[in-house]
Chains A and B, each alone.
Chain A
């Protein structure tokens, strides 16, 4: 275990770079803070690769099973014998895998941002917050205790808020950051209540205890029931609400598309690759608890995930802002991961869905970060987000084009790119358990291919549009990261992931299931062909289809009016029916009571102030008279 002591450096160094650039970034040239932060992330990335190597190949396995290793565990707040909040570092297959993903994507985003943010007035502030975010995210995945997870969970929330609001003089960015913060905070209320309920019934916050299949937490916890479900199910459903807020599951997804107001590299890091999958990660972390104590909660996870993936995929087909298409695509892909987790069992082959979900999380991080960084490269060149203002960019930006195409193929699930492998595993897992969810996911796979290639053909092919100036390829510092991520997203699928990650730590082997893979690739190709016909050849007119779909298209374009429903519920119902009467009560009843007391006091004292005459002997007389009176009274009482 002492082999891993250095893992402490991985998050802590980022915290120090945040403090340093945050406090003294303005004293140097902006480039200095960029370089410092990038260097520290580079160190963390190198160390986490070393950790991953040591964990997976040298010290992690005991008797063929990957162990949970508590590298550090310091008791911080102790409530009773079993219940305490600890701070520490926990290594197991998924936390090591997440650590690698986070540091890699963060490193790429840091390097990319050196080019992308050049000349921005908030350059060092931006890098400081990126470091803070990476620190918080690493703390989240490495935590030993669910309460520590909660603290870092809030910390990633606040750093996401700060980064979305980076352009704080733009009202839309400010309102987007507030929306993101409030919606996720609202969901975190569920998370907190869930933690408290869980700790009340399981008696511990510690992950080692909570997720031990033979541990007390799982054995003890099914007794109390509330409204037909056991208390632990409610706790897990509430925790899932927190996860749904962070991972933008329906109906708490509304913040993610708006969060695209932030700088594009931020969207790549936070709102595609890392923070939004924290919800999936947390459910995977508590997975034994879900499987053994509450299959109902897992069903909720699976169905919400399936609905969200379909819902977001449909919206993604209609959006015209390049980053919003990608945002809805992210929501849809996270829905995929949730479904796969939700149908999974516990064990090696039994837990195929768990493995597949983590695998997709892994590959998705690379290709979605690549898509966002590619979109950033395009936006950098032509200064707009509207896809219909783009066209034929393939001629001007060949490298961006190639890398973007790689990512599109990967997300569409075309072999041999990474998305194919993970999506195949997920669909196999879903197929085994629930044919209805499989049908939904199958359709979503086709829609995914369609909307990605709609984006691709519109942006990179067709005719030139009017540009302010001739679009140019991005600087090399940005292209390097695109190429690196393209290589990753092409090859990440070849990693034998099930040898490393499984729900109980036992490695197993998987193979491609042809009976699933062929239809899935088929529907993906069909989606691509449809997109080709609609947006490249224009042999079918998109306008006509748009008109024939009528209401359905319009409501999808307006994101099924979910935002409007939220506005209606808050402004019309909550404000008018609750806030206004409460405000009236406060202003009239509470305030008037207080004012009345103050007025009465004032009135009485005005009347009796003349007793203070200033005559010394008058005071003395009253005092002596009082004394005599008390004396006589006492005497009387004694005698009688």
Chain B
């Protein structure tokens, strides 16, 4: 293991990525960017999984597998989300999140 890079570095990285993702999710108006923010959140979680696996239980592979699952689920989620965004674009000719308020009271 390279000296100087410990678990706390990974945690700082993943926390930063998580909050950048949350910030992007809350502030961006473009649906594609929101989707990218969601990916950032998911990947920050993946980093956590792999890092904890590596540092705490090196003999197990559970964290790695979980990361794999998250990636697979994220991929499917993205494909569904993109499909929704495309059909919204076809309907509204724009993908601004503030205009998508069909499901209010």
Chain A residues near B (Cβ < 8 Å): 609-610, 612-617, 620-621, 624
Which residue in chain A gives the minimum CB-CB distance to B23?
Answer: A624
Q: Is the CB of B104 within 8 A of A613?
A: yes
The listed residue (B26, B97, B98, B100) touching A621 by CB distance below 8 A is B26
In contact, A620 and B26 (Cβ under 8 angstroms): yes
Would you list which residues of chain B between 57 and 105 have a CB under 8 Å from chain A? 97-98, 100-105
Closest residue of chain A to B100 (Cβ to Cβ) is A616
| Residue of B22, B25, B27, B103 touching A614 (CB-CB under 8 A) | B103
Contacts of B97 in A (CB 8 A): 615-617
Residue of B nearest to A627 (CB): B22
- For A612, the closest partner residue in chain B by CB is B105
Q: Give the interface centre of B26, B97, B100, B103 by most chain A CB atoms within 10 Å.
A: B26
Report whether B26 and A614 are in contact in the complex, using a CB–CB cutoff of 8 Å: no
Given contacts A609-B105, A614-B104, A617-B26, 11 further A-B contacts (CB under 8 A): A613-B104, A614-B100, A614-B101, A614-B102, A614-B103, A615-B97, A615-B98, A616-B100, A617-B25, A617-B27, A620-B26
Bound-complex Cα distance A610 to B101 (A): 13
Residue among A612, A616, A620, A624 with most chain B CB within 10 A:
A616
* Assembly CA distance A616 to B97 (angstroms): 7
Would you call A620 and B25 a contact (CB within 8 A)?
yes
A614 to B97 alpha-carbon distance, docked (Å)? 10
**CB-CB < 8 A to B104: which residues of A?**
612-615
Closest B residue, CB atoms, query A608: B105
> Residue of B at shortest CB range from A625?
B26
**Cβ contact within 8 Å between B26 and A615:** no
**Chain A nearest CB, measured from B77 CB (Å):** 15
Taking CB atoms, residues of chain A closer than 8 Å to B105 are 609-610, 612-614
Size bin of chain B's contact surface: 10 to 19
Q: Which residues of B contact A (CB under 8 A)?
A: 22, 25-27, 97-98, 100-105
Query: How distant is the Cα of A609 from the Cα of B22 in the complex, in angstroms?
Result: 27
23 cross-chain CB contacts under 8 A: A609-B105, A610-B105, A612-B104, A612-B105, A613-B101, A613-B104, A613-B105, A614-B100, A614-B102, A614-B103, A615-B97, A615-B98, A615-B101, A615-B104, A616-B97, A616-B100, A617-B25, A617-B27, A617-B97, A620-B26, A621-B26, A624-B22, A624-B26
B71 CB → nearest A CB, Å: 23
A628 to B40 alpha-carbon distance, docked (Å):
19
A497 to chain B minimum Cβ distance, whole angstroms, is: 87
> Which chain B residue shows the least CB distance to A611?
B105
Which residues of the partner chain A approach B98 to less than 8 Å between Cβ atoms?
615, 617
- Alpha-carbon separation in the docked complex, A613 to B105 (Å): 7
| Chain A proximity of B2: nearest CB distance (Å) | 32
- Which B residues touch A624, using CB under 8 A? 22, 26
Of the listed residues A609, A614, A621, the one surrounded by the most CB atoms of chain B closer than 10 A to its CB is: A614
CA–CA, A620 and B21, complex, Å: 12
Which residues from chain A contact B101 at a C-beta distance below 8 Å?
Answer: 613-615
Residues of A close to B100: CB separation below 8 A = 614, 616
Output the least CB separation between A614 and chain B (Å).
Answer: 3
Q: Which A-chain residue is minimally distant from B97 (CB atoms)?
A: A616
Please, which residues of chain A bring their CB within 8 A of the CB of B26? 617, 620-621, 624
B103 to chain A, nearest CB (A): 5
Measured in the bound complex, the distance between the Cα atoms of B27 and A624 in whole Å is 13
CB distance from A620 to the nearest CB of B (A): 6
CA–CA, A454 and B101, complex, Å: 95
CA–CA, A621 to B25, complex, Å? Answer: 9
Give every chain B residue within 8 A of A616 (Cβ-Cβ): 97, 100
Q: B residues within 8 A CB of A610?
A: 105
Q: In whole angstroms, what is the CA distance A150 to B86 when docked?
A: 74
Complex Cα distance, B48 from A523, in Å, reads: 114
Q: Which of B25, B27, B103, B105 has the most CB of A within 10 A?
A: B105
